[in-house]
Structure 1
Amino acid sequence: MKISGALLLFFLLKFTECGPVRNHNVQAVDLDYFCMRQISTPENEKLAPIILLHGLGSTKEGWDGAYQLLAVHTKRKVCVPDLRNHGSSPYSKEADVEAMAADIVRMIGSLNTDKAILLGHSLGGKVAVHVALNHPDKVEKLIVEDMRPNGITPVVLKQIKGFMQLVRAGVASIPEGLTEHEAKVHFVKFILEKTKQMNVSTDLTVNEADRIPIRCTDGKCSFRVNVELFQKVIKDPESFLTHSEGVYKGPALFIYGTKSPFKVGEDEANIHKLFPKAKLVPVEGAGHIIHLKHDKFWDETIKFIISDS
């Protein structure tokens, strides 16, 4: 069995067109984020910003290199937040996709713009879907990287549960006194050794260690994600991945890996039901992480953003 590196790095990871978020009264939080623009002109100041949404267990730093590339090629402002319960954003017992989507709507307002282009990977893609279906007036275009609008395959669910436990063990194994880089390398080596013992292959490498969301202070290291969030996903994944309903009539792009266990291509009928203008683009040979390893992802994404459609 082969597990994509996304399961180790990001843990791989239902509303009317104009209606509000429905399940409960969500209290949106102010997310920690940064923005960049290559050159500011009167023309590009009018363009909707791009917001990049990371996957479960990752942080905004996971988009390093990507936001610079988009800023250069699209001439737009690119903003990258930590989702709630991740990185430097607030922690909350409300940890589901519905709550995360409310935060993004609040963030769009804080950017003094009417709408934004949302690009989300994995969990971030699910959050972007939820925003688009509930607040279509806030979304100029939607880009989803290797995520279905609703649900995950049984294989992915099994892998998430197993590797969450493995990753927590990996963090617990980090000795005190290491630098942050050393701790991340130790963590990756721990994961690689354990997966080898389990006869499970992975495309995770030590070269990707600095993308692991571990922070060390005074010689003690921790994972930069709310532990309660992990526990909620393990116990009730269906509740965490709030079901998304409605219709988004704007431009939508779903890019997926042909070797990913998420099997987005098999969900084409449902995608077109929710997103009538959706374009599905398979990336041959790609797993769950596409944007770090395949130029086709950026070729298709940039072309989609700068097009008039």
Structure 2
Amino acid sequence: MQVLHSQIFGEGTPFLILHGFLGMSDNWKTMGMQYAAQGFQLHLLDLRNHGHSFHSEDFSYEVMVQDVYAYMEYHGLESAIVLGHSMGGKVAMELAVTYSEKVKKLIVADIAPKYYPVHHQTILNGLASLDFSKIKTRGEADNQLANYISDAGIRMFLLKNLYWVAKGQLGLRLNLKVLTDKVGEVGESLAKFANYQGPTLFIKGERSEYVMREDEVLIKTHFPKVKIVAVSRAGHWLHAENPEEFFEKTISFIKD
């Protein structure tokens, strides 16, 4: 059995964090340290085909939920607080409705249980354009990505996937081929009658269009014990754009 790679630190109640599409556990290191300081054992996971975790031709929410369940069993975690951002938020939702007993409290960051059309194509094209027989530095990779992605913050996030395969040879940690082929899976909705009765927080970016006012009825159908809050001055990357408010609102829900 292949077990997801993770970074584990802190002591106390287990707390899992699941990153978004094309992300990795490193994206949550700073925020994770803050939670750990409040008395939690943090598990920052790399989902399959991402970060340091294994590569696989299979990629769907169903298999990712089984990965997280297997991870919890492997580490002897009876239950945990589970926080997921974007794609990781969908994995967290699916985990909560499939294995409710495993999820003590659920936090979903800037994603709704609805279907989303494919919208990552430009980013995937940009990553596919990186020719590592010619690109020898992160700066050169950044310049190439800038032809596709104008936002420097998004480029910095994507460039975290670069690593030295060998001396002088850069590569990407993520499984770009499978993630490109299966990108449609990322937008899949939660099953119609899926339901989780535990305490739930949906936290969205005030400037984000991922979770709209009209989505709140659907959210409450699946998660009746939900609180929906917004982080001011933040878009989809709410935990990076306004980390203080994100932390304050999530820790207040966790400790409530």
Taking structure 1 as the reference length, what is the TM-score of the superposition?
A: 0.75
Separation in structure 2 between the aligned mates of residue 134 and residue 210 of structure 1, nearest angstrom: 31
Query: After alignment, is 295-304 or 108-117 more displaced?
Result: 108-117
Q: Which residue of 2 aligns with 1:228?
A: 177
Q: 2:3 aligns with which of 30, 33, 41?
A: 30
Per the TM alignment, residue 212 of structure 1 is displaced from its structure 2 partner at its CA by: 1.9
Shift of 1:249: 0.6
| 1:185-239 residue CA offsets vs partner (Å, 9 max, x unmatched) | 33333333444xxxxx536277x469621112222222211123223234xx158
5+ long unaligned stretches in structure 2 = none
1:164 equivalent in alignment to 2:124:
yes
CA distance in 2, matches of 1:266, 1:173: 44
Q: What does the per-residue CA deviation read over 1:166-194, in whole Å, with 9 as the maximum and x for residues that have no partner?
A: 2221x226735x3xxx42x3333333344
CA distance in 2, matches of 1:70, 1:221: 33
Aligned to 1:81: 45
Tell me which of 91, 96, 103 is aligned to 1:139: 103
Q: Structure 2: how far apart are the matches of 1:242 and 1:226?
A: 23
Correspondence for 1:241: 188
Q: Does 1:252 align with 2:200?
A: yes
Structure 1 unaligned regions, length at least 5 = 1-27, 196-200
1:34 Cα deviation (Å)? 2.1
- Aligned pairs for 1:40-189 (under 5 A) are 40=11, 44=12, 47=13, 49-73=14-38, 75-152=39-116, 154=117, 157=118, 159-169=119-129, 171-172=130-131, 175-176=134-135, 178=136, 182-183=137-138, 185-189=139-143
* Paired AA for residue 90 in structure 1: F
Relative distance call for 1:204 and 1:174 in structure 2 (3 A) is: farther
Change (3 A) 1:106 1:260: same
| Aligned match of 2:232 | 284
CA contact (8 A) 1:98 1:242 kept: no
215 and 203 in structure 1: CA distance in 2 versus 1, 3 angstrom threshold? closer
How many angstroms does 1:71 deviate by? Answer: 0.2
Q: Secondary structure at the match of 2:227?
A: strand
Q: Which amino acid in structure 2 is aligned with residue 175 of structure 1? A: K
Q: How far apart in 1 are the matches of 2:224 and 2:182?
A: 30
- For residues 141-170 of structure 1, the C-alpha deviation after alignment (integer angstroms, 9 at most, x for no partner) is 001111112312x4xx2x31222112221x
Q: Deviations over 1:34-78 (max 9, x none)?
A: 2101xx5xxx4xx3x0001011111111112111111002x0100
Whether 2:252 is the aligned partner of 1:303: answer: yes
- For 1:94 and 1:112, locate their aligned partners in 2 and report how far apart those are by CA, in whole Å: 25
Q: Distance in 2 between matches of 1:187 and 1:132?
A: 38
SS of equivalent to 2:105: strand
The Cα shift of 1:270 comes to 0.5
Q: How much does 1:113 deviate?
A: 2.4
Q: Which has the higher contact order (CA 8 A, sep 6+)?
A: 1
